[in-house]
A = this chain, B = another copy of it.
Amino acid sequence: MKRFIELFILALLCFASLPASAENGYDLWLRYRPVEKKSLRNHYASRFSKVYVQDDLGATGDAIKDELDRALYSMIGKHPEYVAEKKDAKLIISSGDSGEGFSIKSKPGTQVTEIIGEGPVGALYATYALLHEMQMGKLLDNLDIERRPEISRRVLNHWDNLNGTIERGYAGYSLWNWERLPHDIDPRLIDYARANASIGINGAVVNNVNASARSLDRDWLVRLKGLADAWRPYGIKVYLTAKFSAPIEIGGLATADPKDPAVAEWWKKKADEIYTLIPDFGGFLVKANSEGQPGPQDYGRTHAEGANMLAEALEPHGGIVFWRAFVYRNDRNHDRIVSSYEEFHPLDGKFNDNVVLQVKNGPIDFQPREPFHPLFGGMDQTSVGMEFQITQENLGHAGHLVYLGKLFSEVLLSDTDGNGRSVADVLKSGKISAIAGVSNIGSEINWTGHPFGQANWYSFGRLSWNPEESPEDIAEEWIRLTLTDDDQSVKTIKDMMVMSREAVVNYEMPLGLNHIMNYATHNGPEPWHHDPVWSAYDYHKVSCDSIGVDRTLRGTRATAQYKQPICDKFDDLSLCPDEYLLWFHRLPWDYKMRSGRTLWHELVYKYNEGVNQVESMISDWDKVSAHIDKDRHKRVAALLRLQLEEAKWWRDGCLLFFDSYARKGIPTDYPQPQHSLDYYKSIPFPYDWDGYYK
């Protein structure tokens, strides 16, 4: 056996430079591939020969050791030896009482590396950071790393229904095995926690914002405790979406009026019950008076009054409320884009200290590109938190390669006031700083369906920790950890990823055209959708003369919600960037663009640019085939073909539709649609997350 193991490991190391024949993606960016270079292997082996982990790190200390064991065995074929005395150790891991920051330092003149966490979870984060250096092939000499998260609540929002379906989820179904919880902890729940901890995510709202009140029933809370206990060592707190009408639905009260003392009392008791089971429960997320959900306005109360009642129930236990700002009137004559600001701006200063107003990145609803939401910078006395969507509801679901790091970063770095106060600065300035991402993960073996969806989870975590990080650098790291270490391939893939976000913007919403996707699935074009409740016409307002919505000071005044000079930048046609042109302005088809093309021609150009970009992704991906395992390479190649098909569906469907008004024709030097408009209108949208087809 021994001799065989030698040979086996030698063989493994020899093969390390070649892509494995099959990888199903389950290991994410924590693949811990065998280290090829012998000198580096020896270096790591010597630095991990003796490890000291401070005794009192508890379950987090066990998680640290577990991760070191996995990683070292996989990378260099050795388990670390744990020693009882600091003085005997080459790697020293210790921490203070609490806090997520950490340092990793090489002790001068020795071969000793010292990790100090502010708290045990800081030490865990440091361990992942050290392993990250190794995965990137770095030497462990002269380490001098100090890190602390810029934002304190870095949370995944799971829109998981209690029956396991996931609203707007495209990568399988819920990972929470409610029936066997809290007894049975599926090992995948631990791998979920590991993946999150490795990128600094420290919270999870486990149920849908369109919530069932039953998730607050004791039957479910005892199950939730199973998740909380499993994730605690990894620094992940559980949160629940609280349905505002729960006091009626499961509490037997006649009202959910936040000013009714019995209602407030019910929530207090519910909070007490939760904290008895889960002492570090994070708090509640609430979608209230939004898309049919109940809320305080049902009783003539404000959002602040509703939020504060819940906040008071949680406050004694240290819990917080994420109150969503995603509201709009069901009124086609009112521009939806201005609703949220109109509703919440007057409430600035009225929220309790433990309330975070959770605001979507843009003022519509997770489109491929939106200007930042004007509530960022518009609520100076309120903790404003970010809600990104990682799941690609409007970006091709899990079928399209779209790297969202670019989208996240663009929003986070947006200047809110002309003085360089970025959205990220706004987030950081809150009493509670917070960032949430609507998860793209589910039960598929690779977690995200599209193999590149993993990069969106990864970049969300990294940017939550440090919003100023370069999304290009993050992409490169993700590629090296996840796909290949071949420099030329890394460059090619990084360029693809960086371009991918512009591609989806081009083929889905050129020049700021928005919300013209299929009504039910939000995938594929449906600018022709028109019914009394939900009409794409309200968003593009196409006519024979013009297209776009006038949201300037002469129109719906959406621009007025931004501080100067941002207001001017969007309002003034001569200043407004092309990418937001039809978002804020209504313009004639012959309007002359900066490019020299007419507006119509520019639309044709942009739609085609999107398709061309997907085509170039296909040929780029082809070039890297020698350096990617064949299963994942084949899979991404197939998905890119699907993406190309759908990009053309968007382009041709939209152009034919708009041209049925504009009557300009598609210039002959562009590809002509293969089918009639009626054909594109007839393409079915068979996918349905809501169980309509059950």
Contact = CB atoms under 8 A, between A and B. Distances in A.
A694 interface: yes
B21 A11 contact: no
A164 B11 CA distance: 42
B694 A163 contact: yes
B183 A694 contact: no
Given A4-B41, A5-B14, A11-B6, A635 B73 contact: no
A326 interface: no
A684 interface: yes
A5 to B, nearest CB: 4
Interface string A43-81: 000000000000000000000000001100100011100
B691 A77 contact: no
A348 to B, nearest CB: 36
Copies in the complex: 2
Interface in A158-187: 161-165, 170, 172-174, 177-180, 183-187
Given A14-B77, A36-B4, A177-B444, A638 B9 contact: no
Contact of A188 (B15, B38, B188, B445): B445
Interface stretch (A212-220, A262-270, A552-560): A212-220
B172 A443 contact: yes
B38 A3 contact: yes
Given A13-B78, A178-B686, 11 more contacts: A1-B36, A2-B8, A4-B11, A5-B11, A5-B34, A13-B73, A22-B70, A163-B690, A173-B173, A183-B399, A187-B631
A374 B663 CA distance: 73
A689 to B, nearest CB: 7
B22 A686 contact: no
A441 to B, nearest CB: 12
A641 interface: yes
Interface string A630-647: 010001001101100000
When A and B form their complex, which 3 residue pairs have the shortest distance between CB atoms, in order from nearest? A173-B173, A163-B691, A443-B443
Given A183-B641, A220-B686, A443 B15 contact: no
Nearest to A183: B642
Contact of A79 (B17, B170, B172): B17
A6 to B, nearest CB: 4
B638 A184 contact: yes
B8 A34 contact: yes
Interface in A195-220: 212, 214, 217, 219-220
A693 interface: yes
Interface in A623-673: 631, 635, 638-639, 641-642
Contact of A694 (B14, B185, B188, B212): B212
B9 A5 contact: no
Interface of A: 1-17, 21-22, 24-26, 34-38, 41, 69-70, 73, 77-79, 161-165, 170, 172-174, 177-180, 183-188, 191, 212, 214, 217, 219-220, 223, 397-399, 443-446, 449, 631, 635, 638-639, 641-642, 684, 686-694
A163 B689 contact: yes
Nearest to A178: B687
A553 to B, nearest CB: 43
Contacts of A5: 10-11, 14-15, 34
A188 B631 CA distance: 11
Contacts of A191: 24
A548 to B, nearest CB: 32
A228 B178 CA distance: 32
18 contacts: A3-B38, A4-B41, A7-B9, A17-B79, A24-B188, A25-B187, A26-B26, A161-B693, A161-B694, A162-B694, A164-B164, A164-B165, A183-B399, A183-B638, A184-B399, A185-B638, A212-B694, A691-B691
Contact of A173 (B25, B443, B631, B690): B443
Contacts of A186: 444-446, 449
Contacts of A398: 179-180
A320 to B, nearest CB: 26
Contacts of A22: 70, 187
A10 B9 contact: yes
A687 B177 CA distance: 10
Contacts of A687: 178-179
A335 to B, nearest CB: 32
Given A24-B187, A399-B180, A165 B694 contact: yes
B162 A165 contact: no
